[in-house]
Amino acid sequence: MLAQRAASRREPSMRIAFLTLANIGLSVSTLQKQIEGTLLPGMRVPEPLALLFQWIEDNGFFIDRDNRRIGFLYPLETLQAEWTETERPGGTHIEFLAEGNVNMKYWFGHERPEVLNRLCVFAKTGADGSMAAFWIDDCGKQRIVHLGSGSGSILVCVLADDPVDFLRLLAIGYDEICWNSAFSEPPNTHGELFVHPNVKYQEWVAKRFSVTIPKTAAEIVKHPSEMGDSQSEDDFCRWVEKNTR
């Protein structure tokens, strides 16, 4: 059984030491290499995500399409085979891929490099086209943010400052992380589709980083803001409102 939330986080010095040791002899995954090829100046793939991408490839949870690797948290064939009208396996569905910022001009409605070059999309968070990206904030800090598609999800906010917290968010088990209306409650509280947890991924996150898995997304996503909220407490949402045509 996972430890109590009070013990959910290592001390920073311990985590740094752990991740430094993890670097020794660690090969670089194809997924990481491709995403690194789309990064803008000042960006990097955080070590916890590098470890995730290696775990994905070690388990064969990926497909190659048009010379681009797409990674998942659960085997795609099994997910598709066992998906019914009422339930599916696999926990949170997300697709990791090297997207970069090539399509950000359509999302923002302009091509100003001083804006677009502060973002790099590395995952699709929903079937509606919503995305997760690295964002360089006004202080030069890299953070993980969400950009809703606008045609479905309108969630625009910082998902996590700590990359390990982002991995913990994915382990909770929501169908998709683009629907902030569900963040205050555990998965499967409402809805017709029952999503079984991805136990293999949950156990990997808990053991690899010595953390617990939260019960709700609200424990990690502090200000799940939406498009158009110029008074949001969320740094990214306010920045988007200021820089969207």
pLDDT > 70 in the chain, percent? 89
C-alpha triplet 107, 153, 242: angle, nearest 5°: 45
pTM of this prediction? Answer: 0.89
Spatial distance between the Cα atoms of 208 and 211, rounded to a whole number of angstroms: 8
Whole-number Cα distances in Å, 55 to 27, 32, 51, 159, 226: 11, 11, 6, 22, 32
Name 159's Cβ contacts closer than 8 Å, sequence gap at least 6: 132, 144, 145, 146, 166, 169, 177, 220, 221
Of the listed ranges 7-21, 101-115, 145-159, the least confidently predicted one is 7-21
- Quick check: 15 pLDDT over 50? no
pLDDT, mean of residues 174-186: 97
Q: Would you state the pLDDT for residue 4?
A: 37
pLDDT tens string 198-208: 999 999 999 99
Other CB atoms within a 10 A radius of the CB of residue 241 amount to 16
Residue for token digits 């048009």?
A: 66
- Quick check: 2 pLDDT over 60? no
Residue 69, strand partner residues: 64
Q: Would you state the pLDDT for residue 20?
A: 42
> Any idea where the domains of the chain sit in the sequence?
29-243
Residue for token digits 């690797």?
A: 69
Q: Would you state the pLDDT for residue 241?
A: 95
Q: Would you state the pLDDT for residue 25?
A: 55
- Quick check: 23 pLDDT over 60? no
Q: Label residue 26 by pLDDT band (50, 70, 90).
A: low
Q: What is the mean pLDDT of the chain?
A: 91
Whole-number Cα distances in Å, 130 to 59, 151, 179, 186: 25, 9, 10, 21
CA 25 to chain centroid, in Å, comes to 26
